[in-house]
Copies of this chain bind each other. A is one copy, B any other.
Amino acid sequence: MVFGNLGETSGTGVGFTRNPANGDKEFYGEFLMNAQGEDVVAGIRTPIHISELHKLMPDVYDQLRDITTRLENHYRDMQDFEFTIQEGRLYMLQTRNGKRTGRAAVRVAIDMVNEKLIKPEEAIFRVEANQLYDFLVPKLDESVEGIEVIATGLPASPGAAVGQIVFTANDAVTFAGTSAQKKPVILVRAETTPEDIHGMEVAAGILTSRGGMTSHAAVVTRGMGKCCIVGAGDIQVDEKKKEMRVGSLTLREGDWISIDGTTGRVIKDKLNTVAASPDDPDLKTIMGWAEPFRTMGVRANADIPRDAIQARAFGAEGIGLCRTEHMFFAEDRIAHMRAMIMARTVDQRKAALDKLLPMQRADFEGVFRAMDGFPVTIRLLDPPLHEFLPRREELMVEITRLELTDAKSPKLKELHEVLRRVEELHELNPMLGFRGCRLGISYPEISEMQCRAIFEAAANVAKEGVKVIPEIMIPLVGMVKEMANQGAIVRRVAAQVFKEKGAEVKYLVGTMIELPRACTVADEIAVEAEFFSFGTNDLTQTAYGFSRDDISKFLPSYIERGILKSDPFATLDQEGVGQLMHMAVDKGRKGRANVKLGICGEHGGDPASVEFCHKIGLNYVSCSPFRVLTARLAAAQAAASDKLKVEGGRTK
């Protein structure tokens, strides 16, 4: 805006017909008078609040209210307008539908229904599904002055977090201290790995300099409902010196920062946060209007009972992905897991697996109880085994150090032994390596143990009166024979356990569809698989040949040059990856007419992707608990849109 010198009763203003922050029906505006205006603070051209205008020029103010009310009625939406007053005369310069927060969007939509400006079926489209996040997360209180944004990354998991920075997972645990005297910490890493889980669990928020929207940090934190910023490339993380550098600024362990996972901003120093209210009555109203339209189910990705309970609270109708491997990283289990991996014989491996069995069974019992009456899709072991062992380069460095400083250390032999196994398992491209069903096929005893844990848990919990609906999912299938091999193990173990327990539980056996080849032979695979769940993270990786962990190397350059519009791991590539999915849906139904179809990739919580899933006829979407609300609204919008189109077509 350029302000001219317009005289005492002249100036320019902007305003909203309702409050864009909270949706209150509150006429709001600011007006900047010319330099001679009475209310201008000396030397600073500060706009005056619209209420002051009311006092100064009541007629003009009334006229403005009248015009903007008519504009809102005409457009049937909250207006963001611009006006000018020249020597006491009002001119409207512009009007448009106003941008607003999610809370405001919901409030405005409901008010307008009450005001009979719009109908409920219109109101549900007035809220962007992603905006429902606003109801779930705390926010930074930015009403203070002098906020210093030091870097910006990708807003990976919404919300706000304030804490002291630490640079390793162990430091996070130490720093966070006992529950009695807990200190909030922000874990700052170049990138996170499964070994950082314990640190991530105690941190208030996570900040990484590398990684994209589906990096480990992003996926895990969204699952945790924890604020996270990833790929803040301007930040250099020096884990060794325990400091981070941004330009000339250096922050050290213990310094305070505030991070806003909704916008990706990293802010120096400590801000306050404003709490969230997920039980908002407005939210219930809008969902009440939307939900009857919805035809797709919405499930959550949850690995542990706590997450499952949370997901149900958000309206999840089942678990679409329960990752069994996350259970193995717990402190009391990793030793048995490592023993299993280090085993040289089937017997040694079985002995280690026997120790893991009761733990897995207890996990599944907890998840089944939490999801009483709803299906739970459990994926058999998926990641490459070396993820459970110490890192190769760290072992090599440690061995070199010991050889030079303490050559007689008994630890050397042990380290060499571990390194030998790590070397054996070492892969140049682990994402394309010895993982998924390749593990269960090579080591059937692993699948057997996991199936036994699932079915024993199911039988036990069913006896308590809980309705258990297990769906066992085989990961990374590319050939029907892989599915047949693992499916046979599942069915054999189920029959054994049911016989032992004298109880039967209905279950399904199916597969992730996450490889292009699986899409091309989906008709064959469906003969063996009762359900498909699209693993669109991996399918995107293999279709594009993009490693989701490494894409940050060239993604910014691609977006800058317009080659990609958005991160394909955040929003599904409907043209390419979607084409493969379409092929798999068509072929899958050819192979088995009633094959159950779902999605459990991160895309399951992205509104545009949810709409696509509706279009190609999936039965359900599954996403992180904190995305369930969004997915529910997006699915409802997609179905409503379909229905209204058809009805529109009928009336013509």
List residues of A whose CB falls within 8 A of some B CB: 392-393, 396-397, 400-401, 404-405, 425, 427-434, 436, 438, 441-442, 476, 478-479, 481-482, 485, 514-517, 520-521, 538, 541-547, 549-550, 553-554, 557-558, 561-564, 573, 575-577, 579-580
Contacts and interface: CB of A to CB of B under 8 A. Distances in A.
Contacts of A557: 441-442
A401 B398 CA distance: 10
Contacts of A438: 553-554, 558
Given A400-B401, A401-B400, A434-B554, A544 B561 contact: no
A432 B547 contact: yes
Nearest to A431: B429
A112 to B, nearest CB: 41
Given A432-B542, A517-B545, 19 more contacts: A404-B405, A427-B549, A427-B553, A428-B547, A429-B432, A432-B432, A432-B545, A432-B546, A432-B550, A434-B553, A438-B554, A442-B554, A515-B544, A516-B516, A517-B576, A520-B575, A521-B575, A542-B542, A542-B543
A516 B538 contact: no
A549 B441 contact: no
Max chain B Cβ within 10 angstroms of own Cβ: one of A400, A549, A562: A400
A543 B516 contact: yes
A542 B554 contact: no
A576 B478 contact: yes
A562 B479 CA distance: 11
24 contacts: A400-B401, A404-B405, A428-B550, A429-B431, A429-B550, A432-B541, A432-B546, A432-B550, A433-B550, A434-B553, A434-B554, A438-B554, A438-B558, A441-B554, A441-B557, A441-B558, A442-B557, A515-B543, A517-B576, A521-B576, A521-B579, A542-B542, A542-B543, A542-B545
Contacts of A546: 432
B393 A428 contact: no
Contacts of A514: 545
A216 to B, nearest CB: 10
Contact of A433 (B396, B520, B553): B553
A345 to B, nearest CB: 16
Given A576-B520, A579-B520, A515 B545 contact: yes
Nearest to A549: B428
Contacts of A436: 545
A441 B577 contact: no
A482 B573 contact: no
Contacts of A392: 393
Contacts of A544: 478, 515, 517
Contacts of A554: 434, 438, 441-442
Contacts of A517: 543-545, 573, 576-577
A550 B385 CA distance: 13
Nearest to A190: B423
Nearest to A404: B404
